[in-house]
Amino acid sequence: MNLNYIVIEGNIGAGKTTLSKMIAKEFNAKLILEQFADNPFLPKFYKEPDKYSFQLELSFLAERYQQLNQELTSRDLFRPFTVADYYFMKSLTFARATLKEDEYNLYRQIFNIIYKTIPKPDLYVYLHVDVQNLMENINQRGRDYEKGISKEYLSKLQEGYFDFFRQQNDISYLIIDTNNMDFVENQKDYAKMKELIFNNEYKPGITRITL
């Protein structure tokens, strides 16, 4: 495929950032990583989600738009393509899982206005990992602010991603089940990931692959 802009996405703990970094390093690609660690509302949200969910989602919406708008409109002539570890639609998925109905309806109106201006990826790769495995990955990396994440929350996020995929058929979505893979430690698994991403043609809509 002629790929200029690739998104590597997934639920919390799926390995999207790791894979994005690996691809960017090997192919000398431009790398866009979500800046979330410095968000002042994130630790507060995990402690008191009902109180801080709207502030958190609005702040992420603004940060993601600013970063993607800046990074994707400035071409780097020395990089063959761009790879990002998130897509703007992530904002809507997380908002759906955290906001009350009236807050979400308002949030979605704002999102829809902004979403039309964001460049769409040539390929959107979603790393599918079962919720139990996600919980284990989250516990292993030991981030304090993630200790309060529940299985129910991860399940809501997962449902939100798939609902969005079904509604948006103008993007090529490649969903890879990575439950039985270790592309970090196993070079063969990493090679399979690269082959799926770079050596195949995908039509707009959903393509599901289990390895």
Q: Quick check: is 76 catalytic?
A: no
For 185, the token pair is 């430690």
Q: 3-state DSSP call for residue 23?
A: helix
> Which helix (DSSP H) or strand (DSSP E) does residue 194 occupy?
helix 187-198
Q: Which of 38, 76, 85, 122 is catalytic?
A: 85
As a whole number of angstroms, the distance between CA 44 and CA 42 comes to: 5
Helix/strand/coil (H, E, C) string of 29-76? CEEECCCCCCCCHHHHHHHCHHHHHHHHHHHHHHHHHHHHHHHHCCCC
Active site members = 85
